[in-house]
Amino acid sequence: MTRQNVPSPEQKEQTHHGGYFFPLKKYITTLSDLYPAVMAHWHDEAELTMITKGRCTYQIQFESYEAQEGDFIFIPPAVLHSLSILPGEHFESETYVFHMNFLGAGTTDICAVRYLTPILKQELHLPNLIDAEHPAHRELRSIFEKMNQFFDEMKPGYELTMKSLLLQTTAVLLPYGTEEEAHPHLQEEHWFKLRIVVEYIGEHYAEELTIPQLASLCYFSEYHFMRFFKKYMGMSCLEYIKTLRLEKAAGLLGRGGMSVLDVSLSSGFSNLSYFYREFKKKYGMTPKQFIEAIPKGGLEPHKFQ
């Protein structure tokens, strides 16, 4: 098992985080003015992140969290989340992405039935932000440092240690969890519909997308859908689609090997002039200037968070 960085994912990630027998991977995320955000996405695995540099805003389901260096973020399975930084910020973090089944969710022992499976099914909600003032922060930091040590050394049996440390993480956060009753049913229904729409956009961003088409996925009127989307995503649906396309375009430009026209078309922009204008508005430079600003060796791709 080696650490790796992967390109920015689709809203429902197709990436497999680790192998079948050891579903755990470590990722390093770097955000800057060239890559200032990770669009909303979700995946079947949970993740534990420590912010190692800078500040950021996490959007996790329907809540926003301001986080900074030293803070921890826990994201349970199948939860929509995104990440962004302010202009001029440089952000770095370390993340362990793991499947709850690796810890024993889905089995029949008391740990699974009372704790792990409810977390997997989102019936038990652990805290998302653990900052320096949180009672669990000190112990969680100690656990995370041990995880880094054992994962980096990869000595025989490190898989057992990683599993035990993730179980310790769960135990440390459990006293601060909340039961499903604290989350209204209507909000869960809205989350389900929002996830359907975001997943669809992530799979079809390079194609023509319309508000009536997306509203029909939720069985909403166009007016209701536009209000619904902006309420929970903090931007209009059309703005979200444009931003996602620009993020995809930046990723393609960073990898090289494609003309600006091909990148434009592959990212869902049929009008090259419009693509140039919106790209410059977002990144402060034209696509060609963006390519010239990329460090030698290409842009370092980043994992979500």
Report yes or no on 11 lying in a domain: no
Q: Which of the four pLDDT bands, split at 50, 70 and 90, describes residue 238?
A: very high
The CATH number linked to 74 is 2.60.120.280
- Note whether 123 and 215 are same-domain residues: no
How confident is the model over 135-157, as a mean pLDDT?
97
Pairing of strands 46-53, 91-98: antiparallel
- Note whether 53 and 176 are same-domain residues: yes
- Note whether 175 and 189 are same-domain residues: no
Positive or negative, the CA dihedral 282, 286, 288, 290 is: negative
Q: Where are the beta strands (DSSP E) in 181-272?
A: none
Q: Please determine, for residue 89, whether its predicted confidence score (pLDDT) is greater than 70.
A: yes
Question: pLDDT at position 10, please?
Answer: 42
Q: Please determine, for residue 13, whether its predicted confidence score (pLDDT) is greater than 90.
A: no
Q: Which of 155, 182, 209 is the last residue of a domain?
A: 182
Q: Say how far apart CA 244 and CA 249 lie, in whole Å.
A: 9
Question: pLDDT at position 121, please?
Answer: 83
- Note whether 91 and 121 are same-domain residues: yes
Kindly give, in sequence order, each residue whose CB lies less than 8 Å from that of residue 153, ignoring residues fewer than 6 positions away.
Answer: none
Report yes or no on 150 lying in a domain: yes
Of 2-6, 41-45, 288-292, the least confident:
2-6
Of 16-20, 250-254, 258-262, 274-278, the least confident:
16-20
Backbone angles phi, psi at 81, to 5 degrees: -150, 155
Q: Look at the chain and report how many structural domains it folds into.
A: 2
Q: Please determine, for residue 97, whether its predicted confidence score (pLDDT) is greater than 80.
A: yes
**Which class for 296: exposed (0-12), middle (13-18), buried (19 or more C-beta within 10 A)?**
exposed
What is the crossing angle of helices 272-283 and 237-255, to 10°? 90
Report yes or no on 12 lying in a domain: no
Q: Please determine, for residue 115, whether its predicted confidence score (pLDDT) is greater than 70.
A: yes
How confident is the model over 62-90, as a mean pLDDT?
93
- Note whether 76 and 146 are same-domain residues: yes
Question: pLDDT at position 296, please?
Answer: 60
Q: Say how far apart CA 251 and CA 7 lie, in whole Å.
A: 7
Q: Which residue has the higher pLDDT, 184 or 30?
A: 30
Question: pLDDT at position 8, please?
Answer: 36
Q: What is the pLDDT of residues 37-70, one digit of tens each?
A: 888 888 889 999 999 999 999 999 878 999 999 9
Q: Which of 182, 208, 243 is the last residue of a domain?
A: 182
Report yes or no on 298 lying in a domain: no
- Note whether 110 and 238 are same-domain residues: no
Q: Say how far apart CA 1 and CA 13 lie, in whole Å.
A: 20
Report yes or no on 6 lying in a domain: no
- Note whether 150 and 192 are same-domain residues: no
Q: Please determine, for residue 34, whether its predicted confidence score (pLDDT) is greater than 60.
A: yes
Alpha-carbon Rg for the chain, nearest whole angstrom, is 20
**Which class for 243: exposed (0-12), middle (13-18), buried (19 or more C-beta within 10 A)?**
middle
Joined tokens for residue 41: 């996405």
Question: pLDDT at position 125, please?
Answer: 92
Q: What is the distance of C-alpha 243 from the center of its chain?
A: 15
Q: Which of 182, 205, 225 is the last residue of a domain?
A: 182
Q: Please determine, for residue 136, whether its predicted confidence score (pLDDT) is greater than 50.
A: yes
Q: Which of the four pLDDT bands, split at 50, 70 and 90, describes residue 298?
A: low
User: Which residue's entry shows tokens 């998302």?
Assistant: 128
Report yes or no on 228 lying in a domain: yes
Q: Please determine, for residue 9, whether its predicted confidence score (pLDDT) is greater than 50.
A: no
Q: Which of 106, 9, 68 is CA-nearest to residue 302?
A: 9
Report yes or no on 3 lying in a domain: no
Residue 55 contacts residue 86 (beta carbons within 8 Å): yes
- Note whether 124 and 163 are same-domain residues: yes
Q: Which residue has the higher pLDDT, 11 or 167?
A: 167
- Note whether 244 and 200 are same-domain residues: yes
Q: Please determine, for residue 232, whether its predicted confidence score (pLDDT) is greater than 90.
A: no
Q: Please determine, for residue 3, whether its predicted confidence score (pLDDT) is greater than 80.
A: no
Q: Which residue has the higher pLDDT, 21 or 17?
A: 21
Q: Please determine, for residue 135, whether its predicted confidence score (pLDDT) is greater than 90.
A: yes
Report yes or no on 206 lying in a domain: yes
Question: pLDDT at position 113, please?
Answer: 86
- Write out the residue range of the structural domain in which residue 194 sits: 185-293
Q: Which of the four pLDDT bands, split at 50, 70 and 90, describes residue 164?
A: very high
Question: pLDDT at position 185, please?
Answer: 61
- Note whether 176 and 41 are same-domain residues: yes
Q: What is the pLDDT of residues 165-222, one digit of tens each?
A: 999 999 999 999 988 654 556 567 887 888 899 889 999 999 999 999 999 999 899 9
- Note whether 281 and 189 are same-domain residues: yes
How confident is the model over 267-294, as a mean pLDDT?
91
The CATH number linked to 258 is 1.10.10.60
In percent, the amount of the chain with pLDDT more than 90 equals 59
Kindly give, in sequence order, each residue whose CB lies less than 8 Å from that of residue 259, ignoring residues fewer than 6 positions away.
Answer: none
- Note whether 178 and 189 are same-domain residues: no
